[in-house]
Structure 1
Amino acid sequence: MSMLTPPGMGGKYRITGNTYPRMRRPRNRRRIVFAVVAAVIALGLAGWGTVQLVDAFTGGGKKSTAGAKRDCEPVPTPSAAPLPPKPRHVTVNVYNATPRSGLAKAAADELKKRGFTIGKVGNATPEYDKKVRGTAVLLGGPTAHEGYFRVLGTQLVGTQLKTDTRKTADIDLIIGTAFKALEPKPNADAALAALAAPAPKPSASC
Structure 2
Amino acid sequence: MSMLTPPGMGGKYRITGSKYPRMRRPRHRRRIVLAAVAAVVALGLAGWGTLQLIDVFSGDSTKNTTAGERNRPDCEPSPSPTAPAHALPKPGEITVNVYNATPQDGLAKTTADELRKRGFAIGKVGNAPETYDKKVPGAGILLGATSASDSALTVLGTQLRGATPKADTRTTKDVDLIIGSAFKALDVQKDADLALATLSAPAAPSC
**TM-score > 0.5 by shorter chain:** yes
Separation in structure 1 between the aligned mates of residue 89 and residue 203 of structure 2, nearest angstrom = 16
SS of the counterpart of 1:140?
strand
Q: 1:133 to 1:67 in 2, by over 3 A?
A: farther
Separation in structure 2 between the aligned mates of residue 109 and residue 92 of structure 1, nearest angstrom = 11
Displacement after TM superposition at 1:112 (Å): 1.6
Q: 1:108 to 1:66 in 2, by over 3 A?
A: farther
CA RMSD for the aligned pairs?
3.6
Separation in structure 2 between the aligned mates of residue 104 and residue 67 of structure 1, nearest angstrom = 69
Q: Any residues of structure 2 matched to 1:1-206 within 5 Å, and which? A: 5-7=8-10, 45-46=37-38, 48-54=40-46, 58=49, 61-63=51-53, 64-65=55-56, 68=59, 70=61, 74=73, 75-79=75-79, 81=83, 82=85, 83-203=87-207
SS of the counterpart of 2:42?
helix
Report sequence identity in percent.
46
Q: Show CA shifts across 1:121-151 (max 9, x none).
A: 2221211011112221112233434233332
Q: What is the match of residue 24 of structure 2?
A: none
Q: Show CA shifts across 1:159-197 (max 9, x none).
A: 122222334433210011222322232332233223323
TM-score normalised by structure 1 residue count: 0.63
Separation in structure 1 between the aligned mates of residue 196 and residue 57 of structure 2, nearest angstrom = 44
What residue ranges of structure 1 are gaps of 5+ in the alignment? 9-34
Separation in structure 1 between the aligned mates of residue 34 and residue 172 of structure 2, nearest angstrom = 88
Equivalenced residues, count: 171
Deviates more, 1:112-121 or 1:65-74: 65-74
SS of the counterpart of 1:139?
strand
